[in-house]
Structure 1
Amino acid sequence: RTCNHSYSPWSELFPDGRVRLTDHCPREAECLARAVLLRSEYQTKLGKWHEIGEKFIFENDIVEVECKINEVRAYHFLHSQIWRQESMNHDCRAKRTIPKVARKPPSVHIIMLDSIGAAHGRRLFNRIHRYLKREFGAVEMLHMNKIGENSRPNAMGFLLGKLTSDIQRDMYGMPSIPAEWNYTQYCHTFLDDKGFILSLFEKNGYATMMAEDWDEGVFNFPRCKGFEKQPTTHYMRPFQIRVKHGGKTLDSHMGQANCFEQHLFLNDYHEKFMNAYTDTPIAALTWASHLGHDSPTKPFHADIQYEKFFERNKKELDDSFVFFMGDHGLRFGWLAQDPAGQRDINNPMLMISVPRFLRDDNALMANLQHNSGQLLTHFDTHATFVDIVETFSRKDPTNFSQTTLKPDLKGSSLLRPFPDEPRSCKTLPIPPQYCICETTKEQLNVTDQHLAIGRAVAAFLNNLLAKHKYADVCAELQLDELMTLIRIEGAAEVYEVTVRLRPGGGIFR
């Protein structure tokens, strides 16, 4: 409400790849434009400056404009486009095989909103929930269970199908499930050719796009390698890297003071991607981190923004698979301390709509409705992506009444009947500490004899700091208060513990 709604950029990038100055640009301004290209996950390659009057055609996605008045920078802005160039230097493109099928395979749109739990998502995005159900026949998956603490392990699950942390199952009297990848494998090793789901789509004829609003993205923080080469046909990363290093003038023109928000830049890029590829199936992933990562109330205003996005692009999205989802719930602040919020941390939002031509498939819709009430994991979402790729790359008619068993996957497609096996935190790859199923718990009165448990938590964290070589720069943690102690009924004696540690006063559960 307090931003400058009357602001208009001094420049614009037209569909022909040329930059033009608007009427808002002062006559005395001297303006230049250049291409911003990807050098690596952490660096951009900047092109040669061109005068606006040259009418230079930028054959790339991100363009930077700078204007000076009396040799002082007065304007700085980034524009995005989808420059469709079949000969672009992108390895996956050479591997694309467009299947010969009667109908063009349906497109897939993954709209990820960081830190949005299921219940909180219904409150935040009430308009979107109603719109998707009314217009797209969307189904809300009520009991999605996260598989890791933060974004990366959950992304590894639904985007690569990989488990990156051990699952301790002592409380069930069962052996642990070891992680497939250790820290070195998923952080200090490039992820190219490791099963990234958008690469699978691209190899099957899809044009692909990935856009995150944070320069240290889900596969990169903290200082992880990510991808060695551009992972998708279109990759917005140069935009975010340049935003980080653009300086105060860029921030003043493209920041919230002028009503710009990072997730809106993602939506704009996504929309341009849809408009650029009307003749081929597309798979798009946008990941908005800034909107909801740290605040329970900040995303409320975005409800109508996303509703308008869906309305503008209804024709494309109505005939596509749409996954409107979170990776986990809000992990910080007062909401995360509330009992309902604590459950929501482990229960991310997921709504799915299928292409209109599939909504008459009684088996598919019945499966989706039934599965919406089952316990799910991000591995099931990954299996659904794989099912979409494989199903619509075949010439044979699709029969969604059949269960597909794929031993190499840790999940089951949400579009099909689940295997006839019980689904619980005991049988699914869900770490017990994140399980959303109700268990029998007993609140214990904390006594001196329990303090050893709190000291064990402090010792564990100190060892963790030492393991990652932070012990020399961090203070040694000590127990300040054992705040709560809850016994969880299971095959072994397991407790849920909340402690406050000194000297920082941090609270750990």
Structure 2
Amino acid sequence: MVKSKYLLINKHTSRRSHVKSIILKSMHIIAIALLILIIRVIYMLDAHHFYRTPNDISSTDYFVFTSECRIPYVDPFSSEALDRFEDFSHSDCGNDVALIQQFYDHETRQYKLHMNMSAIEEVTRANAMNINDMRCCYRRIKRAGENGFSLSPCHQFQQDFVVPRNIDYLLTECYSNKTKVVVEKNAFTFIQYRNLTGSYNATRISKSGIKRPSVLLLGIDSLSRINLRRVMPKTFMHLQRNHWFELQGFNKVGENTFPNLIALLTSYNATIGKEKCQFDTYGAFNQRICNIIWKNFRDYGYRTAYAEDKYRYSTFNYAAYGFVEQPTDYYLRPFTICIENNLHIKKIRDIVSCIGHKYYAEYILDYALQLSFTYSEEPIFGLFWVNTIGHDYFDTPSVFDLKMLEYLERMQAEKILERSIVFFLGDHGMRWGPLLRLKSGFLEERLPMMFISLPQWYRNEHPDFVKALQVNRNRLTSPFDIYATLKNILEVTNPQKEFHYLNDTTQGISVFREIPENRTCHQAGISDHWCACLSYKVVSINDTQVQKVAHLLIDEMNKYIVSKNIETKCAVLTLSAIQKAFRKTDVNGYKMNNVITYRLWYLVHPGLHSFEATVLFNTIANQIKINIEDINRLDSYKQTAYCVDEKQAKEYCICRE
């Protein structure tokens, strides 16, 4: 008889072993859970420590506490917020080494392409290729209108190829000369040095001997000052330790990127912009009346650049015409269109994260570094805007925390911060998703981050600016103030020349001047709906006036849909439920007069989509007053508004199909 290699055991032994096994498995699960918790706590701990110190909040636990504005402290590390947080810091764009590398010669001001021979040897070995058959070539990328690009034929190049000065960006291909199989595609940008040309004013100022700081705006879409601490703690700690000035009361003025950046770049609000600039017409953004401030910097002798990722949804192109003529000296859009259509893409969730060997955001920030290196002895102005890491989900910026830290540290090491005023900013917080369902969601959405770094020499020359920034840290500010600050920077470079506003109703005050203590949202150019100065009291959702206001809101939304001639495509909206209701008081808690301001969160049919509105209700006439385009949708319209093209109308359209 063949003996079994397994020993026979009795029922009691089996039962005991089974119980022991369950206990061990449970302990194993608990240990893993504890390990994850410890890692999570360590990841957040230092940032949390910074956040609860006098260096970060006022002693009264308010971001702003003035006679006209109270913005309360929000803990970014509350348990309800962390329960919704998923850490993406482990993600990367792959470990493979690029076959082609780029170098910049500061002395000759020229770029070179270097073949990484060890990487090429490894690739050829892995693909059973002969290294002697490997060839690399480049295709020049050129702008072909605002929404296109052209590629030249592929030109072979040799080791340490010097890039011609007329090439701003190119695509490389490395392939087997025998099989013609392409083993790698890559893409590179070049800020090529060019002599200054322009107006008389620019030439005169460049010879005046006045020391002029460079100005860089580094922006991350949808990142609030609260969420920065939560999802990018390493970046936040760097800003704190290196004494960047933070505007804790920086309040957005419009729903999405466009109205907030337009206010910052032009001094226009959406209404004035439409009247003067006619944003919805072809070529509008190139007009001088559009007042985009990079034109003024160009007049003052600055080299200018603009770069933004996610080209289909970029600020001036989403449901708009963009620029007929290239808007700045250096413009990245042709390159971003090319790489999105030619390089390998990796996504996190459903958004583009990596293109080729790098995070998409790296191309934008590398462009900023290149501009700073090429013009290290001349002033520059640049807007560098990143959409891909934070637009759709509040927690995905964590993937870029370490990289962002590396860029800031490199700017410090390369002495870029010694010659530049740098604004590190957001346009708004998350506009939909789980954060908005928190008690603090109202503030998360309305308070984008705003940090400012000044060179030491600039601080020494302008101690009054430093003092004002310290005061303004806890004052109410808005994007209009950043436009006024940019204007202020230019005025300092040429005190004899007056900088004229093209906007007679601008609301901005330079943050280099003390913001009045009694400033209101209205004075800052912020409408009631977007104002973060909390002076509301909870009202029952069953209140008669609340119910009346909610139904009037639905009527106005349906009228808006009809006014846009999209009622055949979009469903008629009906009220499903009121989720929350608030009535405005003054800062001391007193009720207002017969015209009452209500703020409502409500759901509509079809689809149970969520909206937020701030509305004036006349209790005598039983009528409401509201700008419909200020009604805020709290969930994404991506899947429900595909049947209409107009950007603003998408907010309120639920497609019938």
Please tell me whether the aligned partners of residues 141 and 334 of structure 2 are also in contact (alpha carbons under 8 angstroms): yes
Task: Find the counterpart in structure 2 of residue 82 from structure 1.
Answer: 191
Contact 2:191 2:371 in 1 (8 A): yes
Residue 505 and residue 117 in structure 1: after superposition, are their counterparts in 2 closer, same or farther (change >3 A)? same
Cα distance between partner residues in 1 of 2:551 and 2:387: 35
Query: Which residue of structure 1 lines up, in the alignment, with residue 550 of structure 2?
Result: 454
State the 1:122 CA deviation: 2.9
Checking the alignment, whether the CA contact within 8 Å between 1:7 and 1:258 is kept in structure 2 is: no
Structure scoring higher RCO (CA < 8 A, sep ≥ 6) equals: 1
Amino acid at match of 1:499: Y
Q: Measure how far apart 1:68 and its partner are.
A: 4.4
Distance 1:431 1:239, change over 3 A: same
Contact 1:141 / 1:373 at 8 angstroms: preserved in 2? yes
Of 509, 534, 552, the residue aligned with 1:412 is 509
Q: Which amino acid aligns with 2:143?
A: L
After TM superposition, list the pairs within 5 Å mapping 1:241-390 onto structure 2. Answer: 241-246=337-342, 249-251=343-345, 256=354, 260-314=358-412, 315-360=415-460, 361-390=462-491
- Which of 16, 19, 37 lines up with 2:142 in the alignment? 37
Kindly indicate whether the alpha-carbon contact (under 8 Å) linking 1:270 and 1:286 is maintained by their aligned counterparts in 2.
yes
What displacement does 1:356 show? 0.7
Does 2:155 correspond to 1:50? yes
- Selected match of 1:157 from 228, 248, 263: 263
- RMSD (Å), alpha carbons: 3.0
511, 530, 534: which one aligns with 1:434: 530
Shift of 1:218: 4.2
1:415-447 C-alpha deviation (Å, 9 max, x unpaired): 1234x6831123331110000112132321326
Q: Decide whether the 8 Å contact of 1:151 with 1:218 is kept in 2.
A: no
Which SS does the other structure have where 1:493 is aligned? Answer: strand
Q: Give the C-alpha shift of residue 217 in structure 1.
A: 5.0
Take 2:448 and 2:346, find their aligned partners in 1: how far apart are those partners? 34
2:108 aligned with 1:12, yes or no? no
Shift in alpha-carbon separation, 1:410–1:47, aligned structure 2, 3 A: farther
Please name the residue that 1:124 is paired with. 231
Which protein shows a greater Rg? 2
- Judge which range, 201-210 or 26-35, deviates more: 26-35
Taking a change above 3 Å as real, the CA distance of residues 408 and 342 of structure 1, as seen in their structure-2 partners, is closer
Assess, with a 3 A threshold, how the Cα gap between structure 1 residues 447 and 368 changes in structure 2: closer, same or farther: closer
- 8 Å Cα contact 2:340-2:355 kept in structure 1: no
Amino acid in structure 2 at the alignment position of 1:45: S
Counterpart CA distance in 2 for 1:92 and 1:43 is 27
Give the 3 Å change call, closer, same or farther, for CA 48–85 of structure 1 in structure 2.
farther
TM-score after normalising by structure 1 = 0.86
Partners of 1:259 and 1:444 in 2: CA distance? 54
In 2, the alpha carbon distance for the partners of 1:425 and 1:187 equals 28
Are the equivalent residues in 2 in contact too, given 1:101–1:394 (CA < 8 A)? no
- Relative to 1, partners in 2 of residues 1:369 and 1:231: Cα closer, same or farther, differing over 3 Å? same
The AA in structure 1 aligned to 2:336 is Q
Give the 3-state SS of the residue equivalent to 1:422 in structure 2: coil
SS in 1 for 2:484: helix
**How far has the Cα of 1:265 moved from its partner?**
1.5
Whole-Å Cα distance in 1 between the matches of residues 139 and 408 of structure 2? 32
Q: Which deviations, in whole Å up to 9, do the C-alpha atoms of 1:217-237 show, x marking residues without a partner?
A: 543343312222111111111
Distance 1:412 1:2 in 2: 41
Distance 2:220 2:93 in 1: 26
**Aligned 8 A contact 1:446 1:485 in 2:** no
Whole-angstrom CA distance in 2 between matches of 1:120 and 1:67 = 42
Distance 1:234 1:72 in 2: 34
1:92–1:233 CA contact under 8 A, matched in 2: no
Q: TM-score, normalised by structure 2?
A: 0.67
Tell me the distance in 2 between the aligned counterparts of 1:257 and 1:235. 19
Correspondence 1:85-96 to 2 at 5 A: 85-86=194-195, 96=202
Q: 2:285 aligns with which of 179, 191, 199?
A: 191
- Match of 2:578? 482
The number of residues matched between the two structures is: 481
Q: Are 1:75 and 1:250, in contact at CA under 8 Å, matched by a contact in 2?
A: no
Distance 2:339 2:355 in 1: 15
The equivalent residue for 1:223 is 319
Distance in structure 2 (CA, Å) of the matches to 1:449 and 1:414: 41
Q: Conserved in 1, the CA contact under 8 Å of 2:581 and 2:600?
A: yes
Please, which runs of 5 or more residues in structure 2 have no aligned partner? 1-89, 105-109, 125-130, 586-591, 613-657
Q: Cα deviation per residue 1:346-377 (whole Å; 9 max; x = unaligned)?
A: 11111112121122343221111112211111
Contact 2:417 2:454 in 1 (8 A): no
Q: Secondary structure at the match of 1:191?
A: helix
Say if 1:395 and 1:313 are closer, same or farther in 2 by CA, change over 3 A: farther
One-letter code of the match for 2:487?
V
